[in-house]
Homo-oligomer: A and B are copies of this chain.
Amino acid sequence: MLRLTTWRWVPSFARGLVRDVRVRWALEELGLPYETRLIAHGDADFGGYFSQQPFGQVPVLEDGDLVLFESGAIVLHLAGKGTALMPEDPADRARVMTGVLAALNTVETAIVPLVEIDLFYADQPWAEQRRPDAEAQARKRLAELSSWIGGRDYLLGAFSAADLMMASVLRPLQHSGLVEADPNLCRYRDRCLSRPAFERALADHYADLDGTGPSQGR
């Protein structure tokens, strides 16, 4: 049995962007049923939550007795269960792992400083001075990513966990227009995000946040 833990409420800027969406997307691509456990920072049991997640973040995925965190580790763990997100060949699996890590540690890390300035720090005196360099760093990485994609549909042959993670880390840039400014990159992102599994994942994320979704069983 798989159980996903995530927030029952988030501020409006975070709606749709919590990292449970990535894990839900992987679960949907693999056709794996799961329960959700919804928690709040103020829950009486939140202290206990740190025994599962030492940094107090979401999501956590319980796979039987195995308690996993870090959306990257969870997506790689789930991807290993089938071939929908990773080919069978061990060398191809290593390539997919490289793509997932590139999304999280090279692309997302170049995007987050810009997103944080725009979403969290816009009123700080330093933000205006810092922003041009943060935007330049993000643009540089996006240009390199677009070159890597080249004329292909996906990063590594068929759609894989690498594309799931790469399209996911691009999502918080929507307000900036940076992805839209590169038609090749924009087509790639939209190709990934138009998958029915992503649409179901996002709908379930909102349903749980709005209290209209099933909190158990699906």
Contacts and interface: CB of A to CB of B under 8 A. Distances in A.
Contacts of A73: 94, 97-98, 100-102
A76 B80 CA distance: 14
Interface residues of A, number: 42
B144 A54 contact: yes
Contacts of A72: 101, 104-105
Number of copies: 2
A176 interface: no
Contact of A97 (B76, B109, B113): B76
Interface string A94-120: 110110111011101100110000000
Residue with the greatest number of chain B CB neighbours at <10 A, chosen from A50, A73, A77: A73
Contact of A54 (B54, B65, B112, B147): B147
A81 B4 CA distance: 30
A80 to B, nearest CB: 8
Contact of A95 (B55, B66, B98, B148): B66
A97 B70 CA distance: 9
A141 to B, nearest CB: 7
Nearest to A60: B98
Contacts of A112: 109
Given A101-B73, A104-B101, A112-B109, A68 B95 contact: yes
Given A50-B144, A66-B91, A126-B127, 4 more contacts: A68-B98, A70-B102, A73-B102, A124-B130
